[in-house]
Amino acid sequence: MQVKTLKAQFLEEFGLSIRVYEGRSFADESATLASIRKGDNKGGDFSPKKNTKVGNLEDKFMELFGLKTQITGSDDSYFCDNDFTLAKAKDIDDAKIIRKEKKDAKVKSEDVTTTTNDEIPAGDYEIYLKSEPSGEISMGKLTDEDVSELIALHGTDKYSDSELLTFEYSERNELCNVYGIFGSVSLNGSLADFDVEEEIEEEVCYPSDPDDNNRADGFYIIYTKLSKISDQFSIPLGDALFDPEKLLIKKTDIDLDNHEVARYGEIVFSVINEILYDGEAVEDYFEDFVDGGFTTEIFIFQVKDGEMYDIYHQDEDGDETWGEIKAKAENKCLVHFRAEQCGELGVGELTGNVLEDFRVKFDKKELGNSTFIDSPFDLVSNYETGIFAMDSDLEGWEIPEADLITDEKIGILTDEDDNYKAGIYLIYTVLSDRYSVEFEVSDKNDISLIGPEINLAGLEPDFEAGELDEMILVNRVSFDGEEKHLFDFMTDMDGLRQSVMIVEVDNDGDVNELYSNRAGEESYC
């Protein structure tokens, strides 16, 4: 099914629109759903009903089909509330349309014209606002998980696909999330000189440390979604006359002057949050606004020791700029590199009942659906997780003075003469093409990478990784006087693939492959 077909059928069935995304952008209307889905989703039967909640429906599209969606009003001008059922969202949409039609019928010009109070006719009072820019601004602090992803993908084209950078899906807005018309409300006609009362509800600036008033250390993200916006709404008065002294404008002042959006300069704006008349909120404000097409920009910055460092910027065209990431801790430097061969390796001799079970399943060619493939780690005596390294890798990782130390071996058993010991062995790998490694140290010249040396008799359990013999499977790192598990500092970047190989070592020490299962492809020898 094509994207446009899904959207048309959804609108016809539920009277609402559905947005379909590919990464951070709208999916192409002619694209098939299968071509834009994310991940290895299971699919399944799913028939949404009118009593299905909007948020649950969006979650189901992602869970079952790997599709990022948003349910919007019938004219696709606003997002439906996640807690509403589709039926309730449709009822609210119908009411919005009726209200808008009534407004349009009453509007005769763009400009608000007012007369003296004595001449103002009774009935609803119309106000028209127009401002460029207006829209939405959000700011939040990145979690430790966010920062790990940021460091892992720093400088790569993969970061633009992060959900953190998809404005509609981000939850990083706890420091600021405002939207509305930027500026002030002015009345026209004979009331043009009247100063409408304003109240600053909140002042937003860069987070500060309460102990010393410096900027608070951490990693932060700013989103802007701006446009030229016009908004027309009415103040319901019944038979009463409009009294400008009863009008109150509530605002948020934003001062993020270290960051600039391309079209509008520094992020220093005054945003109208709410409009009240006679103590009651004007419900129509910013409900049915008209925009000239939004542009979004995203900024990520780090504050360390009170100093601000720009790390990432995505402009309105999607072009990205990267800056240097500083170590979070005081007097530390950041070690960050990407290892291209990494993951888990396990080797074990099959004996006793396990060996007999293998022989039976091997003869019947039933290994593919057995524990030998499903749980190989339960059948080996030795397995380690880390990065596969050689001395030549250290310079590329920008730690040329680090020590690469091997303290034991992992692989097929050998005797005291280093001959391979006769027996049947299972070898398995769970590998990735790239892992990001990051940790903070006091001295980059005082690092040791430690682990066993690999000895698989020249075998290649994973064809993509190739031969691993004589590489060090680094599973520990030593710095600042402490030895730690390297896995605690690793982030997978490309997903994992599993391979299993079973080999026999004969009495002469020769190694022969009996069976292999590489990413699901079986071979019996």
Q: Let me know: does 44 contact 38? Beta carbons within 8 Å.
A: no
Looking at the DSSP bridge assignments, the partners of residue 251 are 200, 272
User: How many CB atoms lie under 10 A from the CB of residue 497?
Assistant: 17
Q: How far apart, in whole angstroms, are the C-alpha atoms of residue 419 and residue 407?
A: 19
State the burial class of residue 150 (Cβ atoms within 10 Å of its Cβ: 0-12, 13-18, 19+): buried
Could you list the pLDDT tens digit for every one of the 525 residues in the chain? 889 999 999 999 999 999 988 876 788 888 888 888 776 665 666 788 888 888 889 888 888 888 888 898 898 877 788 888 898 888 888 877 776 665 554 433 333 333 334 445 556 788 888 888 999 999 999 988 888 888 878 877 777 777 778 765 567 888 989 999 998 777 765 565 677 889 999 999 999 877 766 888 899 999 999 999 988 888 888 888 888 889 999 999 999 999 999 999 999 999 999 999 999 999 888 888 888 889 999 999 999 888 899 999 999 998 999 998 888 777 788 888 888 888 999 999 999 999 999 999 999 999 998 999 999 999 998 999 999 999 999 998 989 999 999 989 999 999 888 899 999 999 999 998 778 898 989 888 899 999 999 999 999 999 888 899 999 999 999 999 999 999 988 887 667 889 999 999 999 999 999 999 998 899 998
Give the start-end residues of each E strand in 150-235. 176-180, 197-204, 218-235
What angle, rounded to 10 degrees, do the helices at 54-65 and 86-106 form? Answer: 120
519, two tokens? 């990413």
The dihedral of CA 276, 278, 282, 283: what is its sign?
positive
Domains of the chain by residue range: 1-106, 108-326, 333-524
217: left (phi over 0), alpha (psi -120 to 50) or beta: beta
Collapse the DSSP code of 442 into the 3-class scheme (helix H, G, I; strand E, B; otherwise coil) and give the result. Answer: coil
What pTM did the predictor assign? 0.58
Residue 79 is predicted with a pLDDT of 77
Classify strands 423-432 and 435-441 as parallel, antiparallel or unpaired.
unpaired
The dihedral of CA 451, 453, 455, 460: what is its sign?
positive
State the burial class of residue 351 (Cβ atoms within 10 Å of its Cβ: 0-12, 13-18, 19+): exposed
Q: How far apart, in whole angstroms, are the C-alpha atoms of residue 26 and residue 515?
A: 46
The dihedral of CA 96, 102, 108, 113: what is its sign?
negative
User: How many CB atoms lie under 10 A from the CB of residue 253?
Assistant: 15
Q: How far apart, in whole angstroms, are the C-alpha atoms of residue 190 and residue 115?
A: 5
| CA quadruple 251, 252, 255, 261: dihedral, nearest 10 | -90
State the burial class of residue 55 (Cβ atoms within 10 Å of its Cβ: 0-12, 13-18, 19+): middle
Q: How far apart, in whole angstroms, are the C-alpha atoms of residue 1 and residue 31?
A: 8
**Amino acid occupying residue 399:** I
User: What DSSP element (H or E) covers 92?
Assistant: helix 86-106
Q: How far apart, in whole angstroms, are the C-alpha atoms of residue 297 and residue 260?
A: 9
Query: Distances in Å between the alpha carbon of 405 and those of 338, 449, 471, 474, 525?
Result: 19, 6, 11, 9, 37
Q: How far apart, in whole angstroms, are the C-alpha atoms of residue 20 and residue 17?
A: 10
Q: How far apart, in whole angstroms, are the C-alpha atoms of residue 340 and residue 492?
A: 11
Query: Among 419, 425, 416, which residue's Cα sits nearest to residue 509?
Result: 419
